[in-house]
Structure 1
Amino acid sequence: MTRRIPPLGDSEGLWQAVMAAAAGRCQCRGTCGTSHDKDGGRCKTVHGGYGHRHGTGPVRLIAAAAEPADLLLPPHKAAALPKAALLAWCPECHDATRRAAAKARQADAPTAEPDSLF
């Protein structure tokens, strides 16, 4: 596994703890819309490895909410999540899962009724 350099704001070691629990590998199990069947049901992206697209450079995993709906939390609430509520995400899986959660939230939202004149 490649060397893990924590982000600048990781003074408490939270990111390092999440990466250690994930063994430096993205923990997405298909919430991004990809089945990851070829890789045993889990994303194969590792921290410091290279993306599957040509020229993407080294991948930097992020620690973010485990529940897709929690990925939509405002930053100050997301930062307060405990270690048990976090997973290691590659940028592609994180963004795709966040988009899917936003789309699901929008679909579940009640439609606004137009104001009537009478």
Structure 2
Amino acid sequence: MPPLAEAELWRAVMAAAAGRCQCRGTCGTSHDKDGGRCPAVHGTYQTKHGRGWVRLLAAPAEPAALLLPTHRAAALPKQQLAAWCEHCHQATRRAADQARQASAPAGEPDSLFDL
């Protein structure tokens, strides 16, 4: 079942992905047993990563773009979106956030008052 908003965009992304998560290891899992691509297929039951029905979402394809504010990510064209299962999406987003924090220059600590 597609999301309530932007159903046509979601369907286009899912069609391009053949209904399968498009993660190729950015989540930290090699997916080697599945030809290098996550095996999660929309609407199937998974026994890994929390068990339950797979519900793919359309989100930015580039890991760094997963950190965009929601309104900017929602404005991306379908060519810049990919199908993600919940596990791969969250793990890739965490990894992108950690990479961003690691590359950020060390700033002064936040404080309420100057001492």
TM-score for the superposition, normalised by structure 1: 0.88
Structure 2 residue identity aligned to 1:52: T
Cα offset for 1:6?
A: 1.1
Matched ranges for 1:44-59 at <5 A:
44-53=39-48, 56-59=51-54
Counterpart CA distance in 2 for 1:54 and 1:80 is 30
Matched ranges for 1:87-106 at <5 A:
87-106=82-101
SS in 1 for 2:52: coil
Structure 1 residue identity aligned to 2:61: A
Counterpart CA distance in 2 for 1:26 and 1:57 is 15
SS in 1 for 2:45: coil
Cα offset for 1:31?
A: 0.2
Gaps of 5+ in 2: none
What is the number of equivalent residue pairs in this alignment? 111
The residue aligned with 1:34 is 29
The residue aligned with 1:6 is 2
After TM superposition, the runs of 4+ consecutive aligned structure 1 residues lying more than 6 A away are none
TM-score for the superposition, normalised by structure 2: 0.90
> What percentage of residue pairs aligned between the two structures are identical?
72
The residue aligned with 1:81 is 76
CA, structure 1 residues 32+54, in 2 after alignment: closer, same or farther (shift >3 Å)? closer
Gaps of 5+ in 1: none
SS in 2 for 1:31: coil
